[in-house]
Amino acid sequence: MNSIVEQVKQNVGTDLSSRVGLNRDQIDKSIDLADRVTTEVVRDACTEQPSVVKNLFSKEPNTPEAQEVVDRIGKSYTESLIKELGMNALNASALKDAVIPNVAKTVAHQVERKDDVIKAFFVSGS
């Protein structure tokens, strides 16, 4: 996930600075938090419903079950931004909208629906 985290920081860093007024340290912490939250939620989903995770990181539209995983990631990320980084709800929501889709897109590009790669990313803690 380290290369993905760095890619996401490059992709959305400037946007986060202008959209929410974050400095570099805050951007790094918020994206590192997105990595942790996404990994936790997807790890659980891999165990419970591997086919849902495969759909989640594909180019196909999300199934309702995969959308539930996305929603859990977004909710957990927003709550963590507020609780752990002290952000207000408006900024946390703006970050969620900017960061989580970028994380999902970047991971999807890396794993390409391959079960073994998905498990390596999330289940083994890579």
Is 0.85 topped by the overall pTM? no
Q: How confident is the model at residue 126 (pLDDT cuts 50, 70, 90)?
A: very low
pLDDT number for residue 125: 47
Q: What is the 3-state secondary structure (H, E, C) of 73-92?
A: HHHHHHHHHHHHHCCCHHHH
Total count of domains within the chain: 1
pLDDT number for residue 121: 56
Q: Is residue 122 a contact partner of residue 42, using CB atoms and an 8 Å limit?
A: yes
Direct distance between the N- and C-terminal alpha carbons of the chain, in angstroms, rounded to an integer = 6
Higher pLDDT among residues 55 and 72, named by residue:
72
pLDDT tens digits, one per residue of 62-118: 899 989 999 999 999 999 999 999 999 999 999 999 888 888 887 777 766 555 556
pLDDT tens digits, one per residue of 15-52: 777 777 888 888 889 989 998 998 899 888 888 887 78
Range of the domain at 105: 2-122
